[in-house]
A = this chain, B = another copy of it.
Amino acid sequence: MSGNTIGRFFTLTSFGESHGPALGGIIDGCPPGLLLDETILQRDLDRRRPGTSRYTTQRREPDQVRILSGVFEGVTTGTPIGLLIENVDQKSKDYANIADTFRPGHADYTYQQKYGLRDYRGGGRSSARETAIRVAGGAIARHYLATRGMRIRGYLAQLGPIVLDPVDLDRVDDNPFFCPDPARVGELEDYMNALRKSGDSVGARVTVIATGVPPGLGEPVFDRLDADLAHALMSINAVKGVEIGDGFGCVDAKGTAFRDEITPEGFLSNHAGGVLGGISSGQDIVASIALKPTSSLHLPGRSVNRAGEAVTVRTTGRHDPCVGIRATPIAEAMMALVLMDHYLRHRAQNADVHSATPLIPATPDR
């Protein structure tokens, strides 16, 4: 319980269901004096927004966010920032047929078992619609971090069988897939068109990179930077795996190759993904997530109803055939929230430390 808050120093507390009147959240702990208005949040919200391409859900939500407190005369005051996004395009009738049925691969059954009841409309609280507030809150963190030279960028690293290289991160926002390789956007379009025709869905992999992160962020031994990133990223709907740096690639690696050697000019590699002993090293922070294929399918699936009887489920509502497509801004937001929290944590304890130039220059991966 009380699991709807993330962070310890810079916290986001969130509320809202897929088909309730509104989503909302509270950012607590934002430093005062930060220039902030709704347009800064809206920029990221628009990147996550549904209904903007034919490859995602057709639910049309303007996702217009309002700042209700914590900002005065255009700057943050240090007091909590209230955020509100009204739901506009709820179509509750679409979901009446699943009130008594547990969709396979969804949280229907687990919410019912946990709480004894559930808001079945669009998955209620378990809907990925909730992530809109993460993006809004994350945008504040991101905006602050940018004033400290930190930049967070994500991209689609794999869509089903299609592996994508980070050819040009500046072009990620130019296509609806957050594809970092402009030459392969057509391939993705073809794949998604065929997928939609088949009625099936597919998984994806998203990578997020933070540059400009100073060495020293992260706390031993439980609240390591990588552990908190794993928590934040795994909390995104549909995520089944998290990697830092090379991740599972380290299993069959040798120490001589994996340990990132150091020279006076910088690190020679970044297999570790910018984290050593749970603390940032000054290199790029690199994290990847695996997103499972959407379970909402037009193709029938076996399940049971509340009486425990066998039923066949076929989703008729709107959905994303690949939730990974819209996941990039969400993953960026979660990384921003974690870095912001650790930036303040580090500063609280170590403001006395002589904060000289890092001994080793940052050597970004790209």
Q: In the docked arrangement, what's the CA distance between A105 and B259, Å? A: 4
Interface size in chain A (residues, C-beta < 8 A): 162
Q: Which of B161, B201, B247, B358 contacts A113 (CB 8 A)?
A: B358
> Are B110 and A69 interface neighbours, CB within 8 A?
no
Q: Please, which residues of chain B bring their CB within 8 A of the CB of A255?
A: 105, 200-202, 293-297, 299
> Are B227 and A78 interface neighbours, CB within 8 A?
no
Q: Which of B15, B241, B277 contacts A248 (CB 8 A)?
A: B241
> Are A33 and B277 interface neighbours, CB within 8 A?
no
Residues A318-366 near B (CB distance < 8 A): 344-354, 358-360
Q: Which of B79, B216, B353 contacts A124 (CB 8 A)?
A: B79
**Given A231-B231, A277-B110, A350-B116, CB of A1 within 8 Å of CB of B72:** no
Residues A240-270 near B (CB distance < 8 A): 240-256, 258-264, 268
Contact with B along A56-80 (1 / 0, CB 8 A): 0000000000101110100101111
Q: Please, which residues of chain B bring their CB within 8 A of the CB of A230?
A: 227, 230-231, 233-234, 242
Residues A12-56 near B (CB distance < 8 A): 13-17, 20-26, 28-33
Closest to A160 in B: B252
**Given A1-B9, A68-B21, A235-B222, CB of A243 within 8 Å of CB of B240:** yes
Q: In the docked arrangement, what's the CA distance between A15 and B21, Å? A: 19
| Interface residue A152 (Cβ < 8 Å from any Cβ of B) | no
> Are A107 and B349 interface neighbours, CB within 8 A?
no
Most chain B CB atoms below 10 A, which of A115, A121, A160, A224: A115
> Are A290 and B113 interface neighbours, CB within 8 A?
no
**Given A22-B68, A78-B114, A279-B107, CB of A348 within 8 Å of CB of B350:** no
Least CB distance from A7 to B in Å reads 7
Q: In the docked arrangement, what's the CA distance between A201 and B233, Å? A: 29
> Are B6 and A2 interface neighbours, CB within 8 A?
no
Least CB distance from A74 to B in Å reads 11
| Interface residue A8 (Cβ < 8 Å from any Cβ of B) | yes
Contact with B along A196-237 (1 / 0, CB 8 A): 000011111100000000011111111110111111111101
**Given A79-B125, A292-B253, A358-B113, CB of A1 within 8 Å of CB of B28:** yes
A-B pairs, top 10 by smallest CB distance, nearest first, are A107-B277, A3-B219, A105-B259, A3-B223, A201-B255, A348-B348, A231-B231, A110-B279, A241-B247, A15-B82
The contact sample of 26 A-B pairs, CB cut-off 8 A, is A1-B349, A2-B29, A4-B26, A4-B220, A9-B349, A14-B221, A17-B72, A30-B349, A69-B125, A102-B262, A109-B262, A110-B275, A114-B216, A160-B251, A202-B253, A240-B244, A240-B272, A247-B248, A248-B248, A251-B291, A254-B293, A255-B297, A256-B301, A264-B310, A304-B359, A347-B347
